[in-house]
Structure 1
């Protein structure tokens, strides 16, 4: 079995489970899929990649709240645009720190927060659990592919004369 097929199978199965978990816990299933996507897109994989993905998602939530509350504080569209420009700069420059180096993860967290109208209390657990599901999707797919290779190797070994 190819790695792509194995990851596709486990991702399909775990996506259905995530949908049920999200509804059962009152979370945003779409935000969880953003957390999952963030992990899959991260250039660093494994536990370290999951950590970087989740930290950048959380940083994005924080930056979005700065924009939301800062814009409301000043009550001017122009000030809001200037604030957005400044915060976007910081969202990128924070990548100088290794654990905040995945810039798309930061923007994913911010976008999820904007889409949820600033309700970070539901965005954060959705992103975190979704990222965890993303990790499980890939790890279980890699495991399944490796297991299928072992079986193929055993069954293809020629018998002794």
Structure 2
């Protein structure tokens, strides 16, 4: 079994579980899948990738709220667009800090917050748990691949004797 197939199997199983968990807890299922996707797309693997994804997702939530609040205060639509442009620039510049270097993660958190109408209290737990599920999907898939490969090697060794 290839690594891709093993990860696909564990992703399918854990996606179904996430659907049930998110609905049971009243979380935004789609936002959790964005957190999961953010982890999978992270340039780093393992705990470092999970941390980078979660930290940048949360910074994106923060920046979305800055845009929403400043645009509300301004009250003029065109000023909101200017604020959005300035904040988007800052979202990219923050990547100078290594721990904020995963720019797509920042935009995922920001967009999720906009999609939820600024309800950051609903977005934050879904993004974080979704990221954790993404980590589990990939880790479990890699574990499954290793176990199956190991058993196949043991079987082939025993068969050749």
Question: TM-score over 0.5 for the alignment?
Answer: yes
- Cα deviation, 1:58-89, whole Å, max 9, x if unaligned, reads 00000000001110001001110110010000
Listed as ranges, the matches of 1:19-38 within 5 Å are 19-38=19-38
Q: Tell me what 2:117 maps to.
A: 117
TM-score by length of 2: 0.98
1:129 is displaced (CA, Å) by 0.1
Q: Tell me what 2:103 maps to.
A: 103
In 2: Cα distance, 1:91 partner to 1:21 partner: 31
1:159 is displaced (CA, Å) by 4.0
TM-score by length of 1: 0.98
Q: Tell me what 2:150 maps to.
A: 150
Kindly tell me the number of residue pairs found equivalent between the two proteins.
160
Aligned partner of residue 5 in structure 1, secondary structure: helix
Aligned partner of residue 108 in structure 2, secondary structure: helix
Q: Tell me what 1:63 maps to.
A: 63
Q: Tell me what 1:6 maps to.
A: 6
Structure 1 segments, 4+ long, off by >4 Å, are: none
Q: CA RMSD in A?
A: 0.7
1:127 is displaced (CA, Å) by 0.1
In 2: Cα distance, 1:70 partner to 1:10 partner: 42
In 2: Cα distance, 1:34 partner to 1:86 partner: 24
